[in-house]
Amino acid sequence: MNSVFSNKTAIAIFVLPTLLIFCSIVLIPIFVSSYYSVLDWNGVGKGTFIGLENYVDMFTDSRALHSIRNSLLFAAASIFIQLPLSLLLALILASTVKGEGFYRTVYFIPVLISTVVIAQLWSKIYNADYGLLNTLLENIGLSEWAQDWLGQKKTALVASFIPTLWQYIGYHMLLMYAGAKSISQDIFEAAKIDGASRVRTAFTITIPLMKPILKVCLVFSVIGAFKVFDLVYVLTGGGPLFATEVPSTLMYTTIFNTYKYGYGSAISVFIILECLIVTVLINKFFKTE
């Protein structure tokens, strides 16, 4: 076995298929999109080279800037609402509560459901005529709060946040739970002997030792917010009046509805660079000796 791992030719043979697949579905599309992004092209015939004009148009287009703002709000909601709730649930479950396995499974179930199915489910919950949310509000005497949650600019964006947060709380919770469980119990026993409370133990021992897994969760959460597409597209299609539009939905409509392949490719390259830069910044922020 050791001779296999020390043989560079054998390693290259085993790695080559994965490398080819990675290049085919990741690297090559990125380079092709980058090439299209400097063209004025409608998807048919030969494009005209226009340099960085598509990028200039993107950063001067109020609709594009609004979509970027929405994606940043999605990221902020993920960081300040989703991750703290996931961490709280993970710490509670890791403290060996009764029914730990059952709750761990239940919280993770939404992750297993297709995002399109979840979007359809929540669209029924939000429905203005027969939705569960409005029915509940009417039954508890708050009928004046009932409204068309996905059809109004003031509520559509927040209503789009909630299904995303709900779906992935269990995912991040499970990662954090595994990180908390990997910490040696001897450390907690020593803290208990010293008289540390559960809250103090969590903030001074558990959370600091979970720093690597917290970094992973933060990266996944922010990148997921930046490239969110299917849930928003099924729920609202970016409406009403572009209130819930994010860069990925704008890219889709730009390419397939208005046939501006160059401009749409510029948006896709922006999403890639945005995710890459944020990942580097998060890794730099969490870098330790």
pLDDT in tens, 214-238: 999 999 999 999 999 999 999 999 9
Banded pLDDT at 249 (limits 50, 70, 90): very high
Hey, what amino acid is at 99? Answer: G
pLDDT tens profile 23-40: 999 899 999 999 999 999
Domain ranges of the chain: 61-285
At 76 the pLDDT is 94
- Nearest CA to 149 out of 266, 13, 243, 62 is that of 243
pLDDT tens profile 78-94: 999 999 999 999 998 88
What fold does the segment set 61-285 form as a domain? MetI-like fold (1.10.3720)
Average of per-residue pLDDT values in the chain: 90
- The predicted model gives 268-287 an average pLDDT of 91
Banded pLDDT at 56 (limits 50, 70, 90): very high
Cα separation values, 141 from 125, 131, 145, 147, 284, Å: 18, 16, 9, 14, 51
Q: Give the H/E segment covering residue 49.
A: strand 48-49
Does the structure show a pLDDT above 80 at 138? Answer: yes
pTM of the model as a whole: 0.89
At 289 the pLDDT is 45
Q: Is 40 left (phi over 0), alpha (psi -120 to 50) or beta?
A: beta
Crossing angle between the packed helical segments 62-77 and 153-181, to the nearest 10 degrees: 40
8 Å CB contact between 266 and 254: no
Does the structure show a pLDDT above 80 at 96? Answer: no
Q: Is 241 left (phi over 0), alpha (psi -120 to 50) or beta?
A: left
- Residue 121's CB is within 10 A of a number of other CB atoms, namely 14
- The predicted model gives 257-273 an average pLDDT of 94
